[in-house]
Amino acid sequence: MLRKWGFFILGVVLILGGSLLAHVIETAGGVTLTEARFPGENGLTQAGLLYTPKTATAAHPAPAVLVSHGYINTREMQSPFAIELARRGFVVLAMDMAGHGYSGGSVGQVRDLGGPPALAYLQSLPFVDKANIGLEGHSMGGVPITAAAAAQPDGYKAIVFEGSTPSFLGVKGPASYRNLAVVYGQFDEFAPLMWGVPKGSLVPTSKKLAKVFGQPSPILPGKIYGDIADGGARVLENPPVTHPWEHFSRAGVGGAVDWFQKTLTGEANPLPPADQIWLWKDIGTLIGFAGFILLLIGTFEVLLSAPVFASLNHPAEPVAERRGWKWWLAALLTTAIPALTYYPLMKVGNLFFPMQLFPQSIQNQLLVWALGNAVISLVLSLVLRGGKSSFTPAWLKSAGIAAATIAVGYLSLVIVDAVFKVDFRFWVLGLHPLDGRHALMAIPYAVLWAVYFLVAVRALCANLAVRGEGWFVQVAAWKIAMALGFLVLLVVEYATLFRTGFLFTPTEPLNTIVAIQFVPLLAIVGALAAITYRRTNSYVPGALICALLLSWYVTAGTATHWYPGFKLPTPGAARAR
């Protein structure tokens, strides 16, 4: 009984407990969370999550803040800001930029990424004080708030660029910003692009910043220039954090909260900026994520006892008797090659242009990396195997149990989203429910992910399985083999950054940040592969579960780029990208 249902029950308990904790934090002080849908440009529908304090009413309108996430993210990435502002009495609209999350459109189709319509929607709410509205955007989230400020120069009272910069990506801003704050990390990976200085610690000396502030360089961090009362105040915060830490640190969140408390009036529950509880929300959703993985394992175990899938039960039949030199070489190559090929193949992936069937540029790049590694894995598997592996694939039933396992996991997220208004996430790791548009989008991507995982998981089973090895040892070994390469890559990158102010590969800031997710995701892949192989003597169920999971994860969490009328870049533009 415990073996059959143990993981399933534990997964459910962790999902419910973690999600409840996250919900309690998000609604602290009587805040209400609701879905927001409002018209965008060109007939598109935009989406967001609305945080409404109980003190915000039509009779007593409250100050409000529009917050925007960055590139290839969704509104949930702004929850630390939203939680802290809402519990202080601010109405908060966490928008999905156009082409992201549940908002329609695509990146490139909507140049301003939906900022002006989001501001107009916030202003339309009867419980919002229209004279006290703030704007905040992280990274590319600076684009929609720049556009909103330009569309309504008098429609907001204060603005915060968090790890961002005014007039980013050529989007024209207002002639002058009202009560402007810049929160920019000393170790931000995008300083040359954002502010024209080599590293984040030199942002105070940026000529662009001096021009925006209307002050001689250098700008002193923490000093307020100008007068808040007339809208001409300026301040720079330069905390010792990286780009992805700016929206996931007490310093980054506190800088924005402090500025809005200084510049907007009417908050019902003033609190010191250092008084922050948002991390407990992410701890809760992390617990939920862990429960979700255990639920997948438990569901697979339970389904194996069902008559329709009972024939899949088959003890694993590894070829290797012990960990010899071939095992250690295979483990080393499994660890090293994906990390070593990551940057080069992601560059090649730029040539997999967005198209109607495969409309997401970042996912296309990831698939070029994955399929390139599949070819390498296939070759190495043929060379390194110690003997002919014997598998029992049972393709049809393997596909059925994989689909059923993911369906149960997906149902758990749908329930959590409906009841608690949270998803499964921690920092840059996030599993988001699919809407109809993204569900259809995920299908062709799942086919390509399946090709990769069928090859990669087969190589794991053929080369890293050892006869008689214990459950914990095998699962741990496969997790380490899959994830260690990216962990080492990130340690090298960020150790260099913290020592010198530059990444080890300074021209790869975006791909380096994207790689952070690879450590937990590849560890999960290793665990699922090992567990499913041990129970079925097959690589197929684990590979298909991972393919469905990754296509869901990436499709829901990244940006869409193709749209009707999309024009392919010229070869020269592709090389320069």
Tell me what pLDDT residue 574 has.
37
Predicted confidence (pLDDT) at residue 144 exceeds the cutoff of 70: yes
**CA gyration radius, the chain:** 25
In a domain, 282, yes or no: no
Are 226 and 360 part of one and the same domain? Answer: no
Tell me what pLDDT residue 362 has.
96
Supply the CATH number for residue 182's domain: 3.40.50.1820
pLDDT band (50, 70, 90) for residue 565: confident
Q: What is the mean pLDDT of residues 145-158?
A: 97
Predicted confidence (pLDDT) at residue 575 exceeds the cutoff of 50: no
Predicted confidence (pLDDT) at residue 192 exceeds the cutoff of 90: yes
In terms of pLDDT, which residue wins out, 567 or 444? 444
In a domain, 557, yes or no: yes
Are 60 and 174 part of one and the same domain? Answer: yes
Q: How many domains does the chain have?
A: 2
Predicted confidence (pLDDT) at residue 386 exceeds the cutoff of 80: no
In terms of pLDDT, which residue wins out, 71 or 110? 71
Main-chain phi, psi angles of 161, to 5 degrees: -95, 110
Are 429 and 506 part of one and the same domain? Answer: yes
In a domain, 287, yes or no: no
Are 240 and 352 part of one and the same domain? Answer: no
Are 150 and 238 part of one and the same domain? Answer: yes
Q: Is the dihedral of CA 25, 426, 541, 481 positive or negative?
A: negative
Chain segment 549-560, per-residue pLDDT in tens? 999 999 999 999
pLDDT band (50, 70, 90) for residue 487: very high
Predicted confidence (pLDDT) at residue 519 exceeds the cutoff of 80: yes
- The backbone region for 214, taken as left when phi is positive above 0, alpha when psi lies in -120 to 50, beta otherwise, is left
Tell me what pLDDT residue 572 has.
41
Tell me what pLDDT residue 108 has.
86
Tell me what pLDDT residue 510 has.
96
In a domain, 302, yes or no: no
Ranking 303-307, 315-319, 368-372, 480-484 by mean pLDDT, the lowest is: 315-319
| CA neighbor of 52 nearest in space, from 19, 86, 88 | 86
* Token couple for 508: 């790869």
Give residue 406's domain range: 320-561
Are 212 and 330 part of one and the same domain? Answer: no
Are 218 and 329 part of one and the same domain? Answer: no
| CA neighbor of 141 nearest in space, from 199, 85, 78 | 78
In a domain, 1, yes or no: no
Sheet hosting strand 62-68, strand order edge to edge: 32-39, 45-52, 91-95, 62-68, 128-138, 158-162, 180-183, 234-237
